[in-house]
Amino acid sequence: MTIDRARPEPGPELEYIETETGPGPAYSVIWLHGLGADGHDFSPLVPALRMAPQTPVRFVFPHAPVRPITINGQARMRGWYDITDMDFERGQDRAGIEESAATLRALMAREKRRGSAADRIFIAGFSQGGAVALHTAARFEQKLAGVIALSTYLPHADSLAAERSDACCRTPIFMAHGAHDPLIPIALARRNRQHLMRAGYSVEWREYPIEHSVSPQEIDDIAGFLRACMGGG
């Protein structure tokens, strides 16, 4: 069942797509798209993830707000935060990232009210959406079911040690990146993986012979990660 919804609880302008793989979902996955895309970018992948019928899952694909993006000449497009520099370790819009992290937290709170405890909520994201997912999960005060961070990086890695908690370190993280990514260098993602591991996080790492995209093998590996975090269901 797929539903397009407008004006949900987290904010008057936020819209999203929602797909349930069966009645009475046992888990929730909140998936953030990349810059300039929307929730439709990843919603078609749900059937390819082959969720087990006995473990129904609710997928929520929110659409980011429309905002001016500096690196694109202030053109307005859907984005979770502004990007001012293609050096992602310098051009970080902390206020915008925190705003989107608050939106993601509101979406997680909504899933809790609908019956999914924190440890049954996954947050996922691609590129800019993955940065918000990693930033939020790495600082969340409770253990989540898991994090899926695709073709992305960890914003504000230098403040992580002071902002992390023992609970969030127990959240399993799946990081995947294209070896030939021309937008977000794989070297940056590798450094971020090491940073997370040194801080005590468990990171499952995958590299693929692709650019800034998602491959069929990657989808299979995401499905395996989801099933493993759900106890093989």
Active site residues: 127, 181, 212
Sequence-distant (6+) residues with CB within 8 A of 124 are 29, 30, 31, 32, 130, 133, 147, 148, 149, 150, 222
DSSP state of 141: S
DSSP state of 109: H
Which of 193, 200, 49 has the alpha carbon at shortest distance from 130?
193
Per-state percent for the chain, helix, strand, coil, to nearest 5: 35, 25, 40
Match 């302008």 to its residue by tokens.
Answer: 13
Match 């299979």 to its residue by tokens.
Answer: 220
Q: Exposure of 86 by Cβ count < 10 A (0-12 exposed, 13-18 middle, 19+ buried)?
A: exposed
Cβ atoms of 58 and 29 within 8 Å: the answer is yes
CA distances from 202 to 175, 177, 217 (A): 10, 17, 21
| Degrees to nearest 5, angle at CA 62 with 61 and 63 | 125
DSSP state of 115: T
